[in-house]
A and B are shown apart, each in its own frame.
Chain A
């Protein structure tokens, strides 16, 4: 953004929105929107409490396990789909359906199948994250330079070598892009899981604060969540930029 010829740093529009928020909060337009400063004060208050830390830990744990499984499953499946026509034709319709399906509707089914504990929440998280990782990995593998594969074969690469030493690296820029979007969807998944399946973690806090109309608390937790997912997304975007140099020069 540029104002009077000055290049403002990225995201400086947030300051403007923050000020507007503070203003709307101060004039007490609606109970739903307390002033931003009051929210930060509340955050400062509850940030160190055992209840908050427990919620953070529970959410982080479910998120970490869920997204890690999404990567561990999604990347190899995506590579296989990109490599093999038959597997691709078998799986692609399902991947596309699940990518655009309203997955929240499936959560009750997951509860029936996997109970009301961490397991069901982790699976919800993974379910939200995995499809875009599969699809992006597949796209990365499909644009791979054929002669790299022939090169590896001609120097005696086993299929496993080709998998780990060529396909994975050649598709890495797309894989990271998929992981970044997958993580953002995983945040959605973990919160939905914690709201619908068992009331734990941040989901429990949201539930508690919202039903008691503790809007400052509610917004404080939401801001923490925004900040965390923003940090994760930025970290992955930074990793993506690190491999950009060869994404452009692959073909």
Chain B
């Protein structure tokens, strides 16, 4: 897969970001190859969300630039869609309206956007819950709504900020498997933030390890052997286990 030269969907170039006195990102550069899933892995508070929001155009960088398909980011754009850690669903809106919200903002006619929303609601396995409200859904189901909303605008780049951290372990595993399916079938570029080493290795084409503040990339790890294997056997694959150990070894020194 990565023997050929791959194009980058997103390129981060020498980005700096301070919050007042807090130096969050220092001279961070990183490439995100098209059609692949790249995880940002690092301890809490190291600047993962900050980086993702800068790429999303929700936060300006102090200096440096972000290129999406070669064009510099100046704000949010239809080429990127965000999946939020806390789901960010409108509690007054039904599942279908939440899923169609991105299209609603783009002025797509109601019947048309609801048809698209239906399709992605089915794709994430929520058929039958179109008219339910967020407070009637479990955490896992809410995040499926958030995912369907991001998919339905058909953005090339999906930015996912610890999307599975607020759901229970079983649901999380199911999500991880589903995510592998999405990466294979959707031909999109995924930027996936996590603080779980196992999760990062399990789902990623490349894992970028970020060090604590001020954050920069310390290492990029690319799982090779097991990526095309059956989802059930990945967790027993020797390379998977080795990578988890290796990453833990390099992060251990930062955990007190």
Q: Which one of A147, A154, A165 has the highest number of Cβ atoms from chain B below 10 Å of its Cβ?
A: A154
CB distance from A199 to the nearest CB of B (A): 45
**A230 surroundings in chain B (CB, below 8 A):** none
Q: Which of B5-13, B85-93, B226-234, B242-250 contacts A (4 or more CB under 8 A)?
A: B85-93
Q: Which one of B80, B82, B90, B133 has the highest number of Cβ atoms from chain A below 10 Å of its Cβ?
A: B90
Q: Is the CB of A245 within 8 A of B76?
A: no
Complex CA gap A243/B101 in Å reads 20
**B53 surroundings in chain A (CB, below 8 A):** 150
CB distance from A174 to the nearest CB of B (A): 13
Q: Is the CB of B102 within 8 A of A147?
A: no
Give me 11 A-to-B residue pairs in the complex whose CB atoms sit less than 8 angstroms apart, sorted by A's number: A147-B85, A150-B88, A151-B84, A153-B76, A154-B57, A154-B76, A155-B102, A156-B78, A169-B90, A169-B92, A172-B92
Complex CA gap A185/B78 in Å reads 47
Asked whether any CB of chain B lies closer than 8 Å to the CB of A234, the reply is no
Q: Is the CB of A155 within 8 A of B135?
A: no
Asked whether any CB of chain B lies closer than 8 Å to the CB of A249, the reply is yes
Asked whether any CB of chain B lies closer than 8 Å to the CB of A161, the reply is yes
Q: Which one of B53, B88, B153 has the highest number of Cβ atoms from chain A below 10 Å of its Cβ?
A: B88
Q: 1/0 per residue B22-58: CB within 8 Å of A?
A: 0000000000000000000000000000000100111
Complex CA gap A246/B85 in Å reads 19
Since A151-B84, A151-B88, A155-B101 are in contact, a sample of 5 more A-B pairs with Cβ atoms closer than 8 Å, ordered by chain A residue number, is A147-B85, A154-B56, A156-B106, A161-B105, A165-B104
**A:159-181 near B, CB below 8 Å:** 161, 165-166, 169-170, 172
**A153 surroundings in chain B (CB, below 8 A):** 58, 76
Complex CA gap A172/B93 in Å reads 13
Closest to B80 in A: A154
Q: Is the CB of B76 within 8 A of A155?
A: yes
Q: Is the CB of B91 within 8 A of A246?
A: yes
Closest to A173 in B: B92
Asked whether any CB of chain A lies closer than 8 Å to the CB of B81, the reply is yes
Q: Is the CB of B88 within 8 A of A243?
A: no
Q: Is the CB of A246 within 8 A of B133?
A: yes
Q: When A and B form their complex, what is the total count of cross-chain residue pairs whose Cβ atoms lie within 8 Å?
A: 64
**A148 surroundings in chain B (CB, below 8 A):** 88, 90
Residues of B at under 8 Å CB distance from A?
A: 53, 56-58, 76-78, 80-82, 84-86, 88, 90-92, 101-102, 104-106, 133-135, 149, 153
Complex CA gap A246/B92 in Å reads 6
Q: Is the CB of B88 within 8 A of A147?
A: yes
Closest to B106 in A: A156
Complex CA gap A156/B79 in Å reads 11
Q: 1/0 per residue A118-158: CB within 8 Å of B?
A: 00000000000000000000000000010110111111110
**B101 surroundings in chain A (CB, below 8 A):** 155
Complex CA gap A165/B93 in Å reads 10
Complex CA gap A148/B85 in Å reads 11
**A:43-80 near B, CB below 8 Å:** none
Q: Is the CB of A245 within 8 A of B82?
A: no
Q: Is the CB of A154 within 8 A of B92?
A: no
CB distance from A49 to the nearest CB of B (A): 46
**A241 surroundings in chain B (CB, below 8 A):** none
Q: Is the CB of A154 within 8 A of B91?
A: no
